Structure 1
Amino acid sequence: MFVRIRRLRYAGRRIPDHEADRPEHQTTGDLHSFGGRFELHPPLANAGPRDVLHDARVIGIGPGVGGMLVRGFEEHRGAAVLQEWEVTPLETVVGADGLRRWNWPR
């Protein structure tokens, strides 16, 4: 599933709301789930995961086409730290030629 992710923690600590929308805390990619592990792969590439959440759980799901809140553990400097992702499905747009495309950020 192609998604946009906003990380809510850094090194296990909550990122303040006024900093959470900065580009360094956001990413996009292809989200895979494997038995309690969420992996974010580069979009449209056959490569290993960029980010991994271990022992991940979906904490909440937004109404409509909203996203979900996922909580798990990631590795930071050799230690497992708490991480939360706000996951939103990537929307599609209709181009001038009438074809639907994924709305990848530039």
Structure 2
Amino acid sequence: MAYDEALAARVRNALSDAGELREQKMMGALCFMIGDHMCCGVTGNALMVRVGRDGYDTALAEEHVRPMEMTGGRRPRGFVLVDPPGIGTDEALHRWIRRGRTFVSTLPAK
């Protein structure tokens, strides 16, 4: 699946202060890795955010958010997709990316 280059550029800009940032294509998306942990990504025109299992239901209750669905219909808990209306402003995009960064900061170093 292709990903939205303009959204990827916005995500890069939002993560410009992340330090150990790397991009990796996987799961049909462009994923942004912080310290070897996936924080967020761009799949199609949606933002994929790693919110963790504890933040999953809360994130899904928000507007323009849906479960991430993998091939075969599997829905990994802990990852959500935010559709374009939910990330239309830089403020909204940054808020979602902060959620991903906050979760990743709780993970042990690899």
TM over 0.5: no
| Structure number, greater radius of gyration | 1
Question: Could you say which structure has the higher strand fraction?
Answer: 1
The normalised TM-score by structure 2 is 0.29
Question: Could you say which structure has the higher helix fraction?
Answer: 2
